[in-house]
Amino acid sequence: MLDQMEFDGKLWLHAGPGGWTFVTLPQDCADQIRFYTGSKKGRAWGMIKVSARIGASTWQTTIWPDKTSGSFLLPVKAAVRKREKIAAGDTASVSLQLLAPPGF
């Protein structure tokens, strides 16, 4: 299904304030998301609501568009990293489901 995807991604720590940890989605996933959602500009800062899963941890969040990579960034909460025993530099298997309907 176009609203679901699975991939392996490396966790990395943002250098700015707050210490956010992200996974950058592979380009083929970004292309799939853009195809599924269309080019609607109504989303706040281009964010898209998703349900994410790493290991046994599932959470709802938003993915953020990233001009540098041309893809999207998935923020990985501290509680998830702790529960799954992962940190920046580790590679995680990610399942993602878009929660917004096409063309929202």
Average pLDDT over residues 33-42: 72
> pLDDT tier at 102 (50, 70, 90 boundaries)?
low
Query: By three-state DSSP, how is residue 29 classified?
Result: helix
> pLDDT tier at 20 (50, 70, 90 boundaries)?
very high
The number of beta carbons lying within 10 Å of the beta carbon of residue 2 is 11
> pLDDT tier at 103 (50, 70, 90 boundaries)?
low
Domains by residue range for the chain, with CATH = 4-98 (2.40.30.100)
> pLDDT tier at 42 (50, 70, 90 boundaries)?
very low
Alpha carbon separation from 74 to 1, 79, 92 (Å, rounded): 20, 15, 12
Type of residue numbered 90: D
Joined together, the tokens standing for residue 95 give 């399942």
**pLDDT of res. 17:** 77
Question: Can you spell out the DSSP letters for 36-101?
Answer: HHTT---SGGG-EEEEEEETTEEEEEEEEEETTTTEEEEE--HHHHHHHT--TT-EEEEEEEE-SP
